[in-house]
Each structure stands twice: as C-alpha cells, then as structure tokens.
Amino acid sequence: MKLLLIAVAALGFAAGESAPPLDFSGIWKQDNARCSPRRTGDVTLKIEHRDPELIVETTSKGRIARHALQRYTTDGFESASTGADGDEFHSAAVWKDGTLVFGIVEIEDGRRLKSTEIWELIDEGRSLKRVRRTEKAGEQTLIYTRVLATTAP
C-alpha cells in the first residue's frame, strides 16, 4: 500500500506544477445524466479546499442514505478515512498537469482494492469531473455541477 502511495506522490512531484492549484471549494450536485455509466440517486458534495487541505463531505439520498466526511492533503501525504459504506480508505493526492490525482487503497472485507481518481474542473469551473479507475468497477466518470461557490475559511 505504501508503495502505491509513494509512486503517486513521486509522479506528481516529478511532473511539477506551474499553474496555481485549482480550488474545488463549493457545493456540488451529481449530474446523473452526464455520468458514465449513468447514475441514480441524489449525491451532494460539500468541499472545503484550502491547499493542501481538502475536506469532502458526501451526502447521498437514494435507496440507501449515506454520509461520509473525508480529509485529504494534496501534498502526497497519506490520509485515512472511512467511506459512506463503512470501508476504510488510504489515499494520497498530488497535483499533476492541472488535475488532482489520487492513489487509493480501499480495505473491504479484509481485501485491499487499489484505484486511482483524477479530479479536474471543466465547463469553465462550473463542473467537477472525477474519473475513477478501480479494480472492482472498472472506469467511471462522475460529473458534478457547482450549485454554490464557497471560499474555504
């Protein structure tokens, strides 16, 4: 697990970042029609981002209501959190070419599932695109529309 996180951090540091980091702060609603595969339910992200600190509160309402609070840093250091489904996550995130790249290890029923996630702002900052590549579910693209812009305190 540590090796994966170190590799993601090294990739980000080697690439360098000439532009200032993006600010993901705000309230975001999942746009189910633009997600691939299409999604159902009502998912909201409340993001507080003051680089390198990134706090993501996820609330989903659907067949099963779920809530999670995850804290990350964008400087390659590992963070641990509990997902909305109760699984344990170990993540490291770094900036690379105007995107935020996460290396993630999910611990589910004793199994270690590795994945990556890439975040970027699209539509002139009105939408957040998250591309997930997981061993469990393959590739997914999640699109969120900003409903409220906030500035992290």
* Residue 89 covered by a domain: yes
Does 9 or 63 have the greater pLDDT score? 63
Q: Based on the structure, what is the number of domains in the chain? A: 1
- At 137 the pLDDT is 82
- At 117 the pLDDT is 97
> Is 128 within 8 Å of 108 (Cβ atoms)?
no
pLDDT tens by residue, 37-71: 999 989 999 999 999 999 999 999 978 888 989 99
Q: Which residues contact 50 (CB under 8 A, 6 or more apart)?
A: 25, 152, 153
* Residue 153 covered by a domain: no
* Residue 9 covered by a domain: yes
* Residue 80 covered by a domain: yes
* Residue 69 covered by a domain: yes
pLDDT tens by residue, 76-119: 999 998 877 788 899 999 999 999 999 999 898 888 999 999 99
Confidence of residue 133 (pLDDT cuts 50, 70, 90): very high
Which CATH number is 131's domain given? 2.40.128.20
